[in-house]
Structure 1
Amino acid sequence: MQAVHFGAGSIGRGFIGDLLHDSGYQITLLDLDAGLNAQINRTHSYDLYVIEQDYRLKTIDRVRALSPLTDEPQAIAALADAGLITTAVWADNLPRIAPLLAKGLRERARQGKAKINVIVCENAVGNGQLMRQAILSQDLMSATELDACAAFPCTAVDRLVLGAQREGQQVINVGVDHELVIDLTELVHPDDRPIQGAVYSDNLASWFEKKLFIINGGHAWAGYMGWIYGEDIIQRAFARPGFLDQVKQTMGESAALIANKHGFALAELHDYLDFACRRFALPGLEDSVARVCRSPIRKLAAGDRLVAPAVQCQQAGLDYPHLLSGIAAALLYDHPQDEQAQELQCTIAEQGVAQALAKYSDITSGHPLAKEILAQFARLKEIKARHRR
């Protein structure tokens, strides 16, 4: 069985590639990193190290790597021959892989190949449909033609994966626990299970919101608040007195919402957030605040990890003060090398924070949350001025 995967980054190799390998696939990775591609192709393998098992080595073999730029004909041929296509490129990059994927799917259609699952493993609401729309925007296939040759099931994705160097080689340190939830109702054949070790659900929204609001929301809160306090490594932020308790309170607000909305047992959700916090703060690891915080405009969207649970908590009569401080902290994120952070700060400078909040989060001046977010923004701006120069 052949699988083609877009993106040989930490999630691509450390999570999706691992599952594809254990599912028995021969794997073709498509990535722009020429050095990494050369490393993989020397041995047709790469290495993972399982953190909680004393960094046990796991080698992923039966792998080759191609460049979407310099190896496009081979990449199109691989897509045409594949039994499964997956992605892990960050949601913002889906439009960038759409041209090549569209060409590959068009070639599959030309050859009369069977309809294929394109499993989009990105932390974004409706990730499968985002990929489908990006392909349609290439104008290489009509919607009818595309839907005849490919399905785009949505997913929820969770694993600790951290890039590292060992003996001059790029490797991935991975957490032992993981969760890939796939919407079985959107598969080509709902009775099939194309990836072993995944969870298949007919109610993906509940799983997705559980992970997005509790795990991703808590991690984002920690990152943006860590930036406010001058930290550049997320583990150092967690080591600050009282910081972990505040993260847990933030996640607890979202957990109460998820329990109320989807019927998960609150005690189980608190175990879930405790596990996540232990993972975030694992000793001996260093994960950058910049990585955790990147793309703040996407993370400030109305349907994303901070704004959506805050708004829904307000509507449900639940507590949400920590979520509001997370939104305010995200509005203050100004990393000079983060394109979205710089766009956000330009908007605030030119139009004011209230207009930025309305533009990016759909929270207008008359919204019940607006006044408190702006007050938190002013408070945190003063704190940031003392800790980050």
Structure 2
Amino acid sequence: MALAVHFGAGKIGRGFIANLLHQTGYHVVFADVVQETIDKLKKEQQYTLFLIDHNYDEQLIDDVDAYSTINEADKVVDAIQEAEVVTTSVMATNLDKVAPLIAKGLKRRVGSHKPKITVMACENAMMGTNILVKAMLATGEITTDELNEVGVYPNTAVDRVVFDGHHHGKDGIEIGDAYELAIEKNKLADTNTQPIKNAEYVENLEMYLQRKIYMINCGHAISAYLGQANGYKTVQEVLKDPQLLEQVKTAMMESAGALEKKYGFEHTTLVTYMNKMFVKRMTTPGLSDPVERVGREPIRKLAANDRIIGPALQCEAYKLANDHLLHGAAYGFHFQNPDDQQAVEIQTSIEQNGIKKTVAKYTQQPVDSRIVAVISDDYEQISKG
């Protein structure tokens, strides 16, 4: 049986990526740092998923194994040497931590004349596999020529809601039907193959990454910023408020308008995408997204190339409406969290430098630009209540 090695045995790892690997027919070996999880997978060789959209019916994922990246590094390297696919779901910020082991495993394949292995970082990040490749090269374990000899490295776009769950007297992971795994088709060794079944193989991954970040992540963040200002504790409470839901959806559709212009998406498909991948999923029974968690790190989320200002700038370039996006950004500059260093930094800047200079600094826009003026004016209106 074909072998796949997956780094990260958390909810996304087991509930999403390994689930698809299992459906494809691989024997899946997890590599993780959490010994309790490793021991349980080793002992049981299987785990349970609960299907949210089907009354929490059970789906058994069997034929799995697991190794500790700390205590069994050699076994992880051996598995990579024999695998057809290596995937990750460890968070993009941790790719540099798993890169050395992956690089060692790939190095073992040099000169072996094995078919090229497919290596994919399945992270919530722009071009995550490129980040992983860069991290592997930085280890000094392997060269660019050696990487190219032994493998291919498609980027991915990933999106799925997963939760811890307990049903029918057992623990498992809850998953919704809706998900997205888009894979760069042109980077496969053979563009006619599908190393993971039930994924989408696309010619232009950037458009799918941007659709996800400029619509789903955008709506998520704006919901949090609107929610805190209106006294709500969770995104789900925000989306139950018809007025706020309409504001969020309008902002998302402003983003959609720019995506239609830039990439040729059909309007109706983006409306369906918003309702299925955001509204329906974010209102899943049992889901609770605290606004402080969703709105965290506002400097990153209000940057020029990120989820709110990024689509607002695209709308500006195409001369499309972006008032609701900029309104959401204004609420972002109101975001308060004393435990969030970025939130504290923004509030300190507003106190010391005023709102206009602060907006210009963190959105990387000229202080006399229309975008800075609109956000600053909105901020002042919000402050007045």
Q: TM-score, normalised by structure 1?
A: 0.88
How far apart are 1:200 and its partner, in Å? 0.7
Match of 1:286 among 281, 288, 297: 288
The match for 2:256 is 255
Residues 330-345 of structure 1: pairs in structure 2 closer than 5 A:
330-335=332-337, 341-345=340-344
Task: Tell me the secondary structure at the aligned position of residue 108 of structure 1.
Answer: coil
How far apart are 1:250 and its partner, in Å? 1.3
Distance 1:329 1:261 in 2: 27
Residues 173-192 of structure 1: pairs in structure 2 closer than 5 A:
173-192=174-193
- Amino acid across the alignment from 1:369: I
How far apart are 1:185 and its partner, in Å? 0.5
Q: Does 1:314 align with 2:321?
A: no
Bigger Cα displacement from structure 2, 43-52 vs 33-42: 33-42
Larger Rg: 2
Q: Does 1:369 align with 2:367?
A: no
The match for 1:387 is none
Q: Does 1:134 align with 2:138?
A: no
The match for 1:223 is 224
The match for 2:345 is 346
Residues 220/65 of structure 1: CA separation in 2 closer, same or farther (3 Å cut): farther
Distance 1:296 1:43 in 2: 42
- Amino acid across the alignment from 2:76: A
Bigger Cα displacement from structure 2, 328-337 vs 263-272: 328-337
Bigger Cα displacement from structure 2, 64-73 vs 246-255: 64-73
Task: Tell me the secondary structure at the aligned position of residue 182 of structure 2.
Answer: strand
- Amino acid across the alignment from 1:193: Q
Residues 317/98 of structure 1: CA separation in 2 closer, same or farther (3 Å cut): same
Residues 216/71 of structure 1: CA separation in 2 closer, same or farther (3 Å cut): same
The match for 2:76 is 75
Residues 265/213 of structure 1: CA separation in 2 closer, same or farther (3 Å cut): same
The match for 1:323 is 325
The match for 1:304 is 306
Distance 2:283 2:63 in 1: 33
- Amino acid across the alignment from 2:50: Y
How far apart are 1:57 and its partner, in Å? 0.9
Q: Is the 8 A contact 1:235 1:286 kept in 2?
A: yes
Task: Tell me the secondary structure at the aligned position of residue 369 of structure 1.
Answer: helix
Distance 1:102 1:193 in 2: 23
Distance 1:109 1:228 in 2: 56
- Amino acid across the alignment from 1:319: A
- Amino acid across the alignment from 2:58: L
Distance 1:130 1:357 in 2: 29
Q: Is the 8 A contact 2:297 2:343 kept in 1?
A: no
The match for 2:42 is 41
The match for 1:164 is 165
Distance 1:380 1:100 in 2: 50
How far apart are 1:122 and its partner, in Å? 1.6
Task: Tell me the secondary structure at the aligned position of residue 109 of structure 2.
Answer: helix
Match of 1:277 among 265, 272, 279: 279
The match for 1:386 is none
Q: Is the 8 A contact 1:125 1:303 kept in 2?
A: no
- Amino acid across the alignment from 1:87: T
Among the aligned pairs, what percent are the same residue? 36
The match for 1:204 is 205
Residues 25/286 of structure 1: CA separation in 2 closer, same or farther (3 Å cut): same
How far apart are 1:240 and its partner, in Å? 2.8
Q: Does 1:55 align with 2:25?
A: no
Residues 298/22 of structure 1: CA separation in 2 closer, same or farther (3 Å cut): farther
The match for 2:269 is 268
Distance 1:357 1:104 in 2: 46
**What 5-or-longer segments of structure 1 have no aligned partner?**
384-389
User: How big is the alpha-carbon RMSD for the aligned residues of Structure 1 and Structure 2?
Assistant: 2.6
Distance 1:168 1:32 in 2: 27
- Amino acid across the alignment from 2:220: H
The match for 1:87 is 88
Number of aligned pairs? 380
Distance 1:91 1:334 in 2: 26
Q: Is the 8 A contact 1:354 1:364 kept in 2?
A: no
How far apart are 1:152 and its partner, in Å? 1.7
Q: Is the 8 A contact 1:328 1:373 kept in 2?
A: yes
Distance 1:336 1:79 in 2: 44
Q: Is the 8 A contact 2:297 2:342 kept in 1?
A: no
Bigger Cα displacement from structure 2, 183-192 vs 366-375: 366-375
Bigger Cα displacement from structure 2, 62-71 vs 368-377: 368-377
How far apart are 1:173 and its partner, in Å? 1.2
Q: Is the 8 A contact 2:81 2:108 kept in 1?
A: yes
- Amino acid across the alignment from 2:15: G
Bigger Cα displacement from structure 2, 163-172 vs 136-145: 163-172
Bigger Cα displacement from structure 2, 83-92 vs 280-289: 280-289
How far apart are 1:323 and its partner, in Å? 1.5
Distance 1:15 1:136 in 2: 28
Residues 376/117 of structure 1: CA separation in 2 closer, same or farther (3 Å cut): farther
**What 5-or-longer segments of structure 2 have no aligned partner?**
none
Distance 1:169 1:277 in 2: 29
The match for 1:146 is 147
How far apart are 1:97 and its partner, in Å? 2.1
Distance 1:39 1:381 in 2: 52
